[in-house]
Amino acid sequence: MAWKSRTRSLQVFDTELSADTVEWCPVSSDHDVLACGTYQLHKGVGEDDATPSRTGRLYLFEFRREGPMIPPLTELQRIDTAAILDLKWCHVPVSERPVLGMAAATGELQLFTLSGSQDGGRSLQPLSSLEVGAERLALSLDWSTGRLDSSDIRVVCSDSAGCVSVLSLAEGALTALSQWKAHDFEAWISAFSYWDTQLLYSGGDDCKLKGWDLRVGPSSPTFTSKRHSMGVCSVHSSPHREHIVATGSYDEQVLLWDGRSMKRPLSETPLGGGVWRLKWHPTNQHLLLAACMHNDFHVLHCQQALEGGEGACPVVASYILHNSLAYGADWSRLSLEDPAPRSPPPAAAAAEEPLAESVGHLRIQYESPTASFDTSLEDDAGRYIPEVAAAAPPPPAAGPPLHPDTDAASVSCLLASCSFYDHMLHVWRWDWTPEEAEPC
């Protein structure tokens, strides 16, 4: 069966500082909440000011679709803070509230609770913080709750000194459980196995992927893989399939692994850009989102590899509207029940062109990297201009025949992504439908 794949921009937000991480809230009561973190390096200008400083800002947004002429993303809060390297929501509420974890350039792991107010608003409030080490940057974090297990909530954090730290969260406070030297250089990423949270993975700038078993201590890893040829940037355990792990690297490869046999990956997919973040879809076990630094954002369909097939995972969607390093990306759990707007036929598109011209000078005109089309976002009066005549991006390269889950006639997803030097946050949707079905 042939399938149509289409991505479209819903809104672009200027974060002012370089954006590097985005996370949708996974707690069911707050699926419409999005957090975005930024990182700005300020270099010293004189001999007495040679040490660079790093600042950041934490944004909180709410997503609502109230009409085609109203931008769906509303800023709820901004917090000026230390530079942010990573953000992750705890997958389950803590004391009945969502909790957001932040890895900061000060070497701290900071936690915030999402609180509601009497007027219905929501905001982040500080909960707890703990320094994982002096003179280092906290680079990543992951929660043990990926399969919605709230029995023993722990956090793993990696840092620029090559160390991995494990912390527990109990009664609203972080407590350090263990820390060890895991990598020779920066430990870019650390992650739990969601199926056995005594198992951890870490990846570093020493090009090594390592496994750890907390039951036997960190004196030696359970495995060390050098299959990646450059620094390992991303690791994500599948919440759907036991033993399945995805890894990404500066070497531009996405590897899928069976954690029981780490000598050889299940598949290897080249993506043409350093793979900074990987995210499994929250409900579809075969979809994997990749943020590829110099080569945009892509969705892989991994069914063939997970079922023992050979070859790379096909790319079923690409989002190419960022003009800078593709760093942060995440799936939303919100349901997109409203049908997506259909692209107008050529005659209708031509008829609508004077409307775009009549609103005057565009405050933001965002050009795609391929220079094939522009997306006009806002006019001088601040009115939102939806994408009505933009051409769809080029289809992904043809791959082997796909057989999506039979219980899903189509796929419609809401996503967020951010890019670094152009300091942009994008919210976009992806629709994947059978050729013979009407576009949804």
- CA atoms lying within 13 Å on the CB side of residue 51: 3
In this prediction, residue 3 carries a pLDDT of 86
- What's the alpha-carbon Rg for the chain, to the nearest Å? 22
Token pair belonging to 171: 């009664």
Residues 290 and 373 placed together within one structural domain of the fold: no
User: Which pairing describes strands 223-225 and 40-42: parallel, antiparallel, or unpaired?
Assistant: unpaired
Q: Which of 136, 41, 34 shows the shortest CA–CA distance to 83?
A: 41
User: The whole model's pTM is what?
Assistant: 0.85
Residues 19 and 57 placed together within one structural domain of the fold: yes
Q: Which of 388, 308, 304 shows the shortest CA–CA distance to 341?
A: 388
Residues 94 and 235 placed together within one structural domain of the fold: yes
Token pair belonging to 142: 């992951």
Q: Which regions of the chain are under pLDDT 50? A: 339-400, 406-407, 437, 439-440
Considering the domain boundaries, does residue 39 fall inside one?
yes
Which domain does 354 fall in, by range?
350-379
| Residue 117: how many other CB atoms lie within 10 Å | 8
Considering the domain boundaries, does residue 202 fall inside one?
no
3-state secondary structure of 48: helix
Considering the domain boundaries, does residue 193 fall inside one?
no
Considering the domain boundaries, does residue 143 fall inside one?
no
Name 209's bridge partners: 203, 225
Considering the domain boundaries, does residue 439 fall inside one?
no
Considering the domain boundaries, does residue 422 fall inside one?
yes
How far apart CA 267 and CA 277 sit, in angstroms, is 17
Name 170's bridge partners: 173
In this prediction, residue 402 carries a pLDDT of 57
Residues 225 and 365 placed together within one structural domain of the fold: no
* C-beta separation of 260 from 244 below 8 A: no
Considering the domain boundaries, does residue 181 fall inside one?
no
In this prediction, residue 228 carries a pLDDT of 98
- Output the domain CATH number for residue 115: 2.130.10.10
Number of compact structural domains in the chain: 2
Structure confidence by residue, pLDDT tens digits, 88-109: 999 999 999 999 999 999 999 9
Residues 251 and 355 placed together within one structural domain of the fold: no
Considering the domain boundaries, does residue 189 fall inside one?
no
- DSSP states of 384-435: B---SSPPPPPPPPP-S-----TT-S-EEEEEEEEETTTTEEEEEEEEEEET
